[in-house]
A and B are shown apart, each in its own frame.
Chain A
């Protein structure tokens, strides 16, 4: 134990300057073993501290649990602990010498589609848990649909509780076939199947001795090595202006820096850029950061761009390349997931849209159809969209948005709907081609 620790320690000290970041989300229905799996990953990577473990041991005893319940580690709030269920997205962190991981831990209840959508919106990878005894069930389909809707690049189908099916290769293959069968209707670029036991640790951090027939890697190894480079768009240059930096100091007298985070493509000094919505063009004078001028900027860099010409630019504008522009639209077609318990959505509703650094008024023109997330069937002629429902809608906005299709760019292709009175965030939306 000590030597592992010292080893880990020595490596971390030297290598943290080139560690990568992977964000993933976990989904499964209740009791599939999601909390146990996360507890196991954190425990085996030594992320759990003594005092946290002690607190969990204390709570396990109070509840009369037989073993130390690793699931309690990931159960945050009091109400949830009392009900014994996770009801909101919780974020967890662990690291190995190779990567830092951010887990969006989302509950699997039918009524919480919104949580999975939220967790999936920033994830590079999704782990979908299946109980080996139950196989592919309705919830598995729903979770996979959401992963594909949110365009998660990599999906891991973790077939859990293999210990309860005698580590059976046959059972595993049956589930893999079932899953492939229905996943063929979805758009998921990479699916990896793994037989695991979250409770006993098989194939979680190290390879299982109980399943010699399994040729693949352990879950952690996969998380550490899966290639995440191309997840961001490095082709279509998009720079939403967040804030204008004007120092008003003698040293920086005429400085006007357009601050933002690159949403796509690559920007370099000297590049010709076009400003939306005005359409004026100029050249990039410099790309500034506090650490010095940058030779290039791409996602996810936050920087400040100065231009050679004085143009009136403010928050909500976007810098792009003249030969590769986003669509400039007042009619928006999107898939939404509705989050509000208090109100529903219907044609004629007036709302606010947040899209990149823009906020505009919008009216709902029509609800085209809803999607039954379990069967993937379209449901037409239902005019209202309620909590946890997914629908395709048409919006008309008061001033144009600069959009790409969500499948092309997650940042310029996404939006949220906001209630003009309560200011509640009502829905998340993914923009489609018109």
Chain B
């Protein structure tokens, strides 16, 4: 009859993600793609381009901006969005602070990461978004292992792990009541390794901070943190120049980097294969407690 119909794991994952993105466009009135400038959201945006090509992606991108960015990420974001011909919505944590919606944390470990949840939920409400597409993966953290592709949020934006809709075959139920919304995760079944392999296969451009470079850093609580305008170096902390790269891109106050000489995708893939620490292990926000992620997710975090 025919040669074998085997398909590689990356083709499976790509096809599944494209299917999910098209379902979102079809089932929701006003979806948005959450774009942080990190590799996962870049991959989701890339898949969205492929899903709707040769038409443009039929929804805008939204950046929840903590104001604590690495300049490389913002440059990258603007270039990427312009190339896509997409509309960018910026939801600013600084605005939420100025409007008194949230109060900024104090102290050397102050981070705006927790505040993002309020900014995100406010922006979803203001813009009447009914689906927010994110790049989260189930392999990232144990609370995510049970997350759905279509994750229902109540009218307070909260996630109830006990009351999730079963997802069978490839039938996704995006029906909801007014005021509620969905988070959608097209990369649910991808691992960190899959993401890197796919970036390589597709030749996807990334912000430079993913690759090895020299920068001043401090060590804090076992994590190497970049010295930026947004963190206060304590008296007992020593600033040193190190060759590092980032494994995730987030708020500069809570995203750690790792010492690494990997400056090509092949190097990174080799490093990921040998890595003995999960990538969220470098994020101070998850270290706060064993169930930190689950607690934040319930409140409406990404």
Interface of A with B (CB < 8 Å)? 5-6, 8-9, 12-13, 16-21, 49-52, 55, 58-59, 74-79, 88-93, 95, 99-100, 102, 114-115, 117-118, 121-122, 229-230, 232, 234, 242-243, 245-249, 251-252, 255, 257, 259-261, 266, 288-291, 298-302, 304, 315, 339, 352, 354-355, 357, 410-411, 414-416, 418, 423-425, 428
Complex partner residue of B6 from A20, A243, A251, A355, CB under 8 angstroms: A20
Task: Name 17 extra pairs, CB < 8 A, besides A247-B54, A301-B15.
Answer: A20-B7, A49-B276, A77-B143, A89-B146, A90-B145, A91-B138, A92-B145, A117-B168, A242-B19, A249-B54, A252-B54, A255-B55, A257-B54, A259-B52, A300-B7, A416-B171, A423-B175
Complex: A265 Cα to B145 Cα, angstroms: 33
Q: Does B194 contact A (CB under 8 A)?
A: yes
Size category of the B interface is: 35 or more
CA distance A74 to B138 in the complex (A): 12
Residues A114 and B166 in contact, CB atoms below 8 Å apart: yes
Which residues of chain A are within 8 angstroms of B171 by Cβ–Cβ distance? 354-355, 414-416
Q: Which of B20-28, B127-135, B207-215 contacts A (4 or more CB under 8 A)?
A: B20-28
Query: Which residues of chain B (7-39) have a CB below 8 Å from chain A?
Result: 7-16, 18-19, 22-23, 25-26
B278 CB within 8 Å of chain A: yes
Which residues of A lie under 8 Å from residue B122 when comparing CB positions?
A: none
Tell me the bound Cα distance from A396 to B110 in angstroms. Answer: 59
B270 touches A9 (CB 8 A): yes
Assess whether B50 is interfacial by the CB under 8 Å rule. Answer: yes
Tell me if B173 is interfacial: C-beta within 8 Å of chain A: yes
Q: Which residues of B contact A115 (CB under 8 A)?
A: 166
Interface contact A121-B51, CB-CB below 8 Å:
no
**Residue numbers in A under 8 Å from B162 (CB-CB):** 79
Contact of B9 among A100, A243, A261 (CB under 8 A): A100
B222–chain A nearest beta-carbon distance, Å: 10
A251/B169 contact (C-beta < 8 A), A20-B6, A302-B19 known: no
Q: Which of B63-71, B185-193, B251-259 contacts A (4 or more CB under 8 A)?
A: B185-193
Closest B residue to A9 by beta carbon equals B273
**How far apart are the CA atoms of A85 and B281 in the complex, in Å?**
25
How distant is A33 from chain B, measured CB to nearest CB, in Å? Answer: 19
Chain A: interface secondary structure? mixed
Query: What is the CB-to-nearest-CB distance from B264 to chain A, in angstroms, rounded to a whole number?
Result: 12
Known: A13-B266, A20-B9, A234-B5. A76 touches B278 (CB 8 A): no
Q: Mask for B118-153, Cβ within 8 A of A = 1, else 0?
A: 000000000000000000001100110110000000
Produce 1/0 per residue, B46-68, CB < 8 A to A.
Answer: 00011111111000000000000
Given A91-B138, A300-B12, CB of A290 within 8 Å of CB of B161:
no
Known: A52-B278, A93-B139, A425-B165. A261 touches B55 (CB 8 A): no
Task: List the count of A-B residue pairs having beta carbons below 8 Å apart.
Answer: 200
B90 at the interface (CB under 8 A from A): no
**Shortest CB distance A150–B (Å):** 9
State in angstroms the CA–CA spacing of A78 and B146 once bound together: 12
B19 near A90 with CB under 8 A, answer: no
Closest chain A residue to B191 by CB distance? A93
Indicate if the CB atoms of B139 and A411 lie closer than 8 Å.
no
Q: Which residues of B contact A424 (CB under 8 A)?
A: 165
Nearest residue (CB) in B for A235 is B1
B99 at the interface (CB under 8 A from A): no
Choose one: B19, B50, B146, B169; the contact of A290 (CB below 8 Å). Answer: B50
Query: With the chains together, A234 CA to B50 CA distance in Å?
Result: 24
B7 touches A245 (CB 8 A): no
In the assembled complex, the Cα of A413 lies from the Cα of B11 at a distance in Å of: 24
Give CA–CA (A93, B188) in the complex, Å. Answer: 11
The reply to whether A357 and B55 form a contact with Cβ atoms under 8 Å apart is no
Give the chain A neighbours of B56 by CB distance below 8 A: 247
On whether A243 and B177 interact (CB within 8 A), knowing A20-B6, A21-B9, A255-B54, the answer reads no
Flag whether B235 is at the interface (Cβ < 8 A): no
Q: Which chain A positions have C-beta within 8 A of B167?
A: 118, 425
Contact across chains for B290 and A76 when beta carbons are under 8 A apart = no
Query: Could you tell me the distance between the alpha carbons of A16 and B52 in the complex, rounded to whole angstroms?
Result: 27
In whole angstroms, what is the CA distance A411 to B16 when docked?
14
Nearest B residue (CB) for A88: B146
Q: Contact check: which of B51, B143, B273 meets A13 at CB < 8 Å?
A: B273
Which residues of chain A are near B26, meaning CB under 8 Å? Answer: 242-243, 315, 357
**Any A CB within 8 A of the CB of B234:** no
Q: What is the CA–CA distance of A290 and B46 in the complex, to the nearest angstrom?
A: 10
Known: A232-B5, A290-B50. A13 touches B269 (CB 8 A): yes
